[in-house]
A and B are shown apart, each in its own frame.
Chain A
Amino acid sequence: MAITVIVLIRSRNLFSVIVLFGIYSFLMATVLVALDAVDVAMTEASVGAGISMVLMLGALYLCKSEEAKPMRQPWLPLALSVTTAGVLVYGTLGLPAFSDPEAPIHTHVADRYLQDSMRETGVPNVVTAVLGSYRGYDTLGETTVVFTAGVGVIALLRRRQRRRPGTGT
């Protein structure tokens, strides 16, 4: 995945950038399966590598351009990125080690969900039970976000152009 990202940074053809992003999404979905997150992997594969790529290719077709050569050397953003990386690495040294059963993430609420969800909801898939039942408000908000995005795009792009505005070709 790191190699994909580095090639993506260097590439200037926008079509190859989008295809590389699709490859990156699929690799991320594979990594997520290896981390036992099957629901998330299925969502990432279908949403990230499927719909995202379709929408970006549609936008690229409407925009029709290639990336121009950058005019100045990116030293300042590079320095900023490396500094942020250093600070973040220093911050994560205090976090628990990978797959530590004593980590706080495993000890508070997750145990209750795993123990009680079969008895209270009768649904073996704990993620669906939490998403639909225990944390139903969050899912309501998320559905509203999707609705808002759909309405927003329709509002932005609905009006068909009858004539080109001033600076168009």
Chain B
Amino acid sequence: MKRDLVLRIIAKLLIPFILLFAFYVQFHADFGPGGGFQAGVIIAAAIIFYSLIYGVEATCKLIPGWLIEIMLSGGVLIYASVGLLGIIMGGNYLDYFVLDHDPVTGQLRGIFWVEVGVAITVSSAMLGVFYMFALRGQDPE
């Protein structure tokens, strides 16, 4: 019981910082190493950490299976729709410079949304695979 208490408190202290670091890595892709993939994996790692301490059932209530499935396809759709937006605004597929009056700002905007889509897909894929492994081993029959 004592060990459980220490683990729970440390988890509660650490998980917000891990998530904050994941968002930092995501949004500072322009200025340092990072980007969508790393951020998505770190988010998944934080939630897996939560589920190690508090149990898979509690994590399933927090992030249910249908949300994982929606996020998984949602990320790819965000990416593809940024490309379609390029066509609608007058350029080719996945052209960023038509997204704004100033082509450089258009590039920044395009890269931002693309990285967000990537992070959503990667984090939900890793989390979904972990859920499948964890839930498979729980059936007593």
User: Could you list 26 examples of A-B contacts with CB < 8 Å?
Assistant: A38-B33, A42-B34, A47-B37, A51-B44, A54-B45, A54-B48, A55-B133, A58-B133, A62-B133, A121-B108, A123-B30, A123-B111, A124-B30, A125-B31, A127-B33, A128-B111, A132-B110, A132-B114, A133-B96, A139-B118, A146-B125, A147-B75, A147-B121, A150-B124, A154-B69, A154-B128
Flag if B30 contacts A150 (CB, 8 Å). no
- In the assembled complex, A151 has its CB within 8 A of some CB on chain B: yes
How many chain B residues touch the partner (CB < 8 A)?
Answer: 52
Per the bound structure, the CA–CA distance linking A83 and B89 in Å amounts to 57
Flag if A153 contacts B128 (CB, 8 Å). yes
Flag if B35 contacts A128 (CB, 8 Å). yes
Overall SS of chain A's interface: helix
Per-residue 0/1 for B99-120: is the Cβ within 8 Å of any A Cβ (1 yes, 0 no)?
0000111011011001101100
- In the assembled complex, A77 has its CB within 8 A of some CB on chain B: no
In the complex, chain B residues whose CB is within 8 Å of the CB of A81: none
Flag if A43 contacts B37 (CB, 8 Å). yes
Per the bound structure, the CA–CA distance linking A149 and B122 in Å amounts to 10
> Which of A19-27, A68-76, A96-104, A156-164 binds B?
A156-164
